[in-house]
Amino acid sequence: MESSVSIVKCKDYDEEKVLSALQRAIDLIGGIQAFVNKGSRARLGAKPRVLLKPNLLYGKSPEKAVTTHPSVVRGMIQIVREAGGIPVIGDSPSMGGLIRAAEKAGIKTVADEMKCPFVEFNRPILPSKVEGKIFKQLEIDQAVLDADVVINLPKWKTHAQMVLTLGVKNLFGCVPGPRKPLWHLRAGESRKAFAQILLDIYRVVQPSLTILDGVVGMEGNGPGSGDPIPLGLILASKNALSIDLVVCDLLGIPRKSVPTNQVALEDGIGGHSIEVLGESVETSKISRFALPPPFAVTWNLPGFVRKALKNALTSKPWIDDQLCEDCEHCAEICPAKALQKTSEGLAFDYGECIRCFCCQEVCSSGAISIKPGWALKIVGRRQKAEKSDVAPSLIEGGELMRNIKLIIEYDGTNYQGWQIQPKRPTIQGMLEEKLSRLMGERIRLTGSGRTDSGVHAFGQVAHFKTQSQMDIRTIQRALNNLLPPDIVIQEVEEVDESFHARKHSKSKVYEYRILNRNLRSAFHRGYVWHIPQKLNLMEMEKATQSLIGEHDFSAFRTVGSPTRTTVRRVTRAEWKRDRDGLIRFEIEANGFLKQMVRSIVGTLVEIGRGKIRAADFRNILNSKDRKEAGPTAPAQGLFLKEVKY
């Protein structure tokens, strides 16, 4: 694949100069007709609807260089109209509505003068065809997908998390504002994961043309509070990624310095040759440009060390009280709720903070800046001294795929057991559905074993693999919010990649509850086997002793259930009588056959009723014949209590 990028010089925002620079930049790569006359309306001979997507981070006057300059928007409205398109302006600012942001940025005046309407992004939909590497779903605004043509109008700025915000990053604005923090949460602390999301959005939106406003860019503490810097350039390409790669060349930094470029190059989609037209890279080089502080260093340390040294190894946001205006926008936007208002002012919880820098991005007072941790400072100094060409963004490392262990409590009354079944409610099915929704990718859950229809659990264990970097406390909180009240996630833990909930379990503990009294219970009925006839617990206990040790439990399993071996080792089996007639049977073994606990309990109850002699229990066990044993106890009295590893 080859693509072309045009570079045109433009000294200032004089409207005529900008218009002529835009026209030249577009002509160099094929002329506006090649980009506007697309889509179903154009094929039917109607005027195509062209969405202009500027950077409208929030409302700031044009000279602050936070937003795409109104002269660029004006020029593009005119160019699109002359080419026969119907332009509309759309974006989803981080704070405040689109119109308010456009007013302050001078874009509303231009739009009003040119009678160009706005379209606010507030209708998130899940496009059907997402070939995302991590997430198989993305939320894009309906208006973006409805447009025949999208023209991307980014501003050249620094960005604390993504190093630079250019063509690819600008399209994150196609995700409606209130949904953006969720995508930051999904990416968690991994810049690579967030970069992958941005790249996937770019692939779905597929802007037909990208024009980068680099007449005056922003350096330093971008994208909201950096310093404007005259760069005097406009870049155009049908490939936003190519623009981002060429900007790195212009700044003299490795292309992989920008995480979206890095991910694209690793995916093999950014390695195409780029033809530069108009000005050359050499004659347009930017000799001085302040990048944001480095993001993180990991030295490929193990996860637990990285966690312990998080503050030393990463940059973190920091508030200058002198500049803070107490608007609390930063706390409102924080996806991890790591920034809270306290009696002493705003306070960060750096343990919870995922380093997305949304707080710094929305602080229009410039009160939030980024401070590197001490280890990061050392690396920065050493790189400077060694004149290393490894850019700060590259010193982030680490594996994207994570293995997450869940401990789950559930009331099995309304489910057809643990294992997923088509069109039937199951615990695994419910969990996979909610997890997939939360993580934005198809999640497959592996449990420690199945439980039958109507069986409950205090401590079922399952694991799943994910590339989402959402932190574990957020997974627990958000998943519990999504789940129905009869399933609760008790614990979430990030475990070694090799951990397997079923294969690595050493033993399981089951508990069976019997209500042995005359009257049934209005409250316990779904969770006990009610037996009004008095049971002889002493005889049952005597028989229970035969279970201890390694035996072939064929006599106590569902006939025909396939298994490699029917031998299991029972390490503990005991009865406890509680108050109010509740009797509990607890059994621990290295594994259980299908309906083994319920068959054992059913047989022991027959002994308690005097129908089978305690002395015969061992013979039943040794017979390996299911017909010799008693009935299967009902499911509702059984609980999977614990899985041990």
Binding region for ligand SF4 (CB under 6 A): 317, 319, 324-330, 334, 336, 338-339, 346, 348, 353-359, 362-363, 365, 367-368
Q: Which helix (H) or strand (E) holds 465?
A: strand 456-466
Helices (H), ranges, 417-511: 427-439, 472-482
Q: Cis (ω within 30 of 0) for the bond into 254?
A: no
Is the CB of 358 or the CB of 443 nearer to ligand SF4? 358
Residues 6+ apart with CB under 8 A from 413: 454, 456, 486, 526, 636
Round to whole Å and give the CA distance between 620 and 537: 19
Shortest distance (Å) from residue 102 CB to ligand SF4: 21
Give the separation between CA 21 and CA 8, rounded to whole angstroms.
6
Indicate which residue of 452, 471, 486, 580 is catalytic: 452
Distances (CA, A) of 399 to 84, 391, 436, 468, 501: 49, 20, 20, 11, 21
- Going by their DSSP bridges, the two strands 549-552 and 163-165 should be labelled as unpaired
The greatest distance separating any two alpha carbons of the chain, rounded to the nearest whole angstrom, comes to 103
Residues 6 or more apart whose Cβ sits within 8 Å of residue 163: 257, 258, 259, 291, 292, 295, 391, 392, 393
Give the pairing of strands 149-153 and 163-165: unpaired
Helix (H) or strand (E) holding 152: strand 149-153
Catalytic status, residue 452: yes
Smaller CB distance to ligand SF4: residue 345 or 549?
345
The nearer residue to ligand SF4, 14 or 326, going by C-beta atoms, is 326
Contact 228, 155 (CB under 8 A): no
Residue 14: φ, ψ to 5°: -55, 130
- Is the Cβ–Cβ distance between 495 and 645 less than 8 Å? no
Classify strands 273-278 and 2-9 as parallel, antiparallel or unpaired: parallel
Q: Which is nearer to ligand SF4, 73 or 362 (CB)?
A: 362
Kindly report the number of other CB atoms within 10 A of residue 412's CB atom: 27
Query: With b meaning 16 or more CB within 10 Å and e meaning fewer, what string describes 363-384?
Result: bbbbbbbbebbebbbebbeebe
Nearer to ligand SF4, 122 or 311 (CB): 311
**Catalytically active residues, by annotation:** 452
